[in-house]
Structure 1
């Protein structure tokens, strides 16, 4: 995987309370591109951070439906990945802001 695709697959860390609790279990959460596959995400994390990835779980988050003065609208959805690192691996520099 070339360096350009790595930065297109991983859009950034997803920083929430739930993600912080998952980090204690050696799972890290990233926002990823809509067309990213599990093998691409695994290869991107291994190449970017130099850590061994155990498994990847991907889910699609639907955008919320919100009411406005002109009717209802839809917020944009996104895709996120829970990346579990191998035993003994950690991401110390995993402190990003959205």
Structure 2
């Protein structure tokens, strides 16, 4: 079995978050993978040393959605204990992302303020242009001749 297909996904719950502080990480793994394959996959993918692996086969559970009856999928869960002092970081870009978002927000704000300044200048020039045109326009002394109201 390929190492990349052994580990399906991490199991992230309140209980597993508490266990992570003790160096125990929980993964959903291929149903037919054994402990040796799981340990090799974790060591190769995450570049850490595995102390021990505990596995549980979680059976399917009946679920109802309205009038439809079905089952959840069965899966195998592996609790991997790492050697003391090693850890796996599931969220590596968590700190970098907010910094990029703040820079992007500032750029958008600066762009918006530039646009607002240009619009304000344009409106001001239109106001002054209409005032000068109103003063220079000549009034006509022609009377309208004709009937038919």
Calculate the TM-score normalised by the size of structure 1.
0.83
Q: How does 1:1-98 map to 2 (within 5 A)?
A: 5-67=2-64, 69=67, 72-91=69-88, 93-95=89-91
Unaligned runs of 5+ in 2: 93-149
1-side partners of 2:91 and 2:60: how far apart?
Answer: 25
Describe the shift of the 1:65–1:77 C-alpha distance in structure 2 as closer, same or farther (beyond 3 A).
same
The offset of 1:78, in angstroms, is: 1.0
Tell me the C-alpha RMSD between the 2 structures. Answer: 1.8
Q: Which structure has greater strand proportion?
A: 1
The offset of 1:58, in angstroms, is: 0.5
2-side partners of 1:58 and 1:95: how far apart?
Answer: 24
2-side partners of 1:47 and 1:77: how far apart?
Answer: 26
Unaligned runs of 5+ in 1: none
Structure 1 runs, 4 residues or longer, greater than 4 Å off: none
How many residues were matched structurally? 91
Q: Which structure has greater helix proportion?
A: 2
Equivalent residue for 2:111? none
Q: 1:15-67 deviations in whole A, cap 9, x for unaligned?
A: 11111011011000111001100000000000111111000000011221124
